[in-house]
Amino acid sequence: MRVLIAAVLLLTACAPVARPAATEVPASPVSEPTGGETIAPTPSPTPVVQPGPVLDNPVVTIANAPFPVAPTFTLTRAAVPTDDFSARWGIERYLEGLDRYREHGDYLPARGAFGEAVAAALVESRTPGVKRTFVLESLRIEALYKKPWGTQALADVRVTIVDRAVGGSAPDQRETGLLRLAGDKLQVVDGWDASRGRWFNGRVPDDPAGLRESVGQAIGLYLRKESWTAGGPVETYADGFGMTPFKTARNAYVAAFDRARMASRTFEDVTGAIERHDTFAELPGGIATARLSATVVTTDAAGRTQRESVTRRVKVFFGNWMPEVVDEEVGPGAWRSGGELALVEIDVNLA
């Protein structure tokens, strides 16, 4: 068994939500009249009120222009916990992925150079007629790193993995090495290449095109939360999860719109540009600052439409969940958060 201890990013697919089957409503029993009885008519069913139009996120076009990427944020080494549950969970999910790949060849829980090495080793380890499974024999967390706001970022874990033949039909094979796990819910993302004295994948370079696309999607969702159409549902900007000073202030801003006076409010011609992306030297993520321009289209209760050009500046956070706007400039150098982003509250993997 070679280089099976390598970095691997586990992607948890969201299972499709099952739609309930349509339920037939039994017809009301019909009674035959007897004698002089008067049969009351069956009441008509309550009409179903159809919801109004639901808005899509406005299309946001981010300029294809270069922007600086700076390793502004520094990871700090933290005390190694006595409880290794999180690391153990991540490694065991990784080994389950290796078992599935070796048996079915469908999804490999590894990427990049590490994934290539793991795939080759799994092919070599196949034994005709023998079913094998990977077992975590031991682990020791050697280093733990946190982000500046306190979220767990990386863990380097020394592991011994056994490649065991089910039923003892072949000898066990063992390998000991160093795995790197990442995230608040630790998942294997890299492995140490002892022959070269470095991580197989190392720091994955930032993809400017991917950053632009993600920033555009985050801004589109952000603007839709303060948009509505006549008769459409009222969206709640943010619930109680991960509340921050920014979200509290943002809720108040959205709630202040006079929806009785403005029958609709939407955005058109939204364009933007990334000014800079502040990230880490060791791993992707961080904060992209972007400026946007748009036309706000409002219609009053009498049907009169107005258009207003606006420019705004926001910060988009890339953490353990989907990119999201976490602050907005409300004046020169003044931000809606008041300077307290409280990222530890939202840098959480919700999968």
Question: Tens of pLDDT along 217-243?
Answer: 999 999 999 999 988 877 665 555 678
pLDDT higher for 13 or 70? 70
Q: pLDDT at position 123, please?
A: 87
Mark out the alpha helices in the chain (DSSP H runs). 85-104, 112-125, 208-224, 245-255
Q: What is the pLDDT of residue 50?
A: 53
- Write the pLDDT tens digit of every residue in 300-324: 999 999 999 999 999 999 999 999 9
Angle between helices 112-125 and 85-104 (to 10 degrees): 60
- Nearest alpha carbon to residue 94 among 14, 176, 189: 189
Residue 162, Cβ density class (10 Å: 0-12 exposed, 13-18 middle, ≥19 buried): middle
Looking at residue 161, the DSSP 8-state letter turns out to be E
Taking only the tens place, the pLDDT of each residue in 185-200 is: 999 999 999 999 999 9
Of 29-38, 108-117, 186-195, 198-207, least confident by mean pLDDT is 29-38
Q: What integer pLDDT is reported at residue 12 of this predicted model?
A: 31
pTM of the model: 0.82
